Amino acid sequence: MYSTLADVRASGDIPTVSDTDEIITSAIAWADAIIDEYCGISFEYKAFTVTLDGTNHEAIQIPYLYPQTITSADIDGYAQTTTGWALRPEGILIRNTGVFTLTWPGMNVVIAGTAGKTAAAPAPIAWCSSALALYYIIELTTQVPDRTISMANEFGQFQLAMAGGPGRPTALPEVNAILTRYRDFIAPTF
């Protein structure tokens, strides 16, 4: 998790009805998923397991950028030695001996490991996680849809930032600016 319960509690006033560890933890998980999806990477090492078709080649591409470790690999149900494999930042794994055989009906390669850009998220990403988690919690309480473009209250009418356009993954402009800056565009070379 990019932020902690304490970070979210310190980032703003959480409505009393939502101030439970379970709600805050689910809000952080939601925020981290938004960050990972928009940026295209994980900012912390996270475990993965993926099942793929073989390639009949010594290289295979996994759907995770920045693989760090391969803890196990099976081809057609047989464990493979992963020592000496090359791990490319764009998610390409290259075996030092043998190939990732392709057999019918496919989905015969199972790889487990960890992937992510860094061991700990940078401070701006951690702040985005806290801000998005707080936003999620407040949205649960107020039940104002995130696609609302204007609101009126005792302070008057005002416009809201609308999520969902290019460079706007959230309704929080400051968060959008940071996430756009940290977005990763590694082009596969496979």
3-state secondary structure 59-86: EEECCCCCEEEEEEEEECCEECCCCCCE
pLDDT tens digit sequence for 11-30? 878 877 667 899 999 999 99
Residue 142 has a pLDDT of: 76
Chain mean pLDDT for the chain: 88
Judged against a pLDDT cut of 60, whether residue 190 lies above it is answered with no
Q: Residue 64: which pLDDT band, with cuts at 50, 70 and 90?
A: very high
Phi, psi (deg, nearest 5) at residue 12:
175, 180
**Alpha carbon of residue 115 to chain centroid:** 11
Q: Residue 86: which pLDDT band, with cuts at 50, 70 and 90?
A: very high
So where are the chain's domains? 5-42+127-182, 46-115
Q: If phi over 0 gives left and psi between -120 and 50 gives alpha, with beta otherwise, what is residue 107?
A: left
Contact 188, 66 (CB under 8 A): no
Residue 184 has a pLDDT of: 78
Give pTM, 2 decimals: 0.79
The closest alpha carbon to 111, from 154, 162, 60, 159, belongs to 60
Q: Kindly give the residue spans of alpha helices, DSSP state H, lying in the chain.
A: 5-11, 21-39, 123-142, 173-182
At 49, the amino acid letter reads T
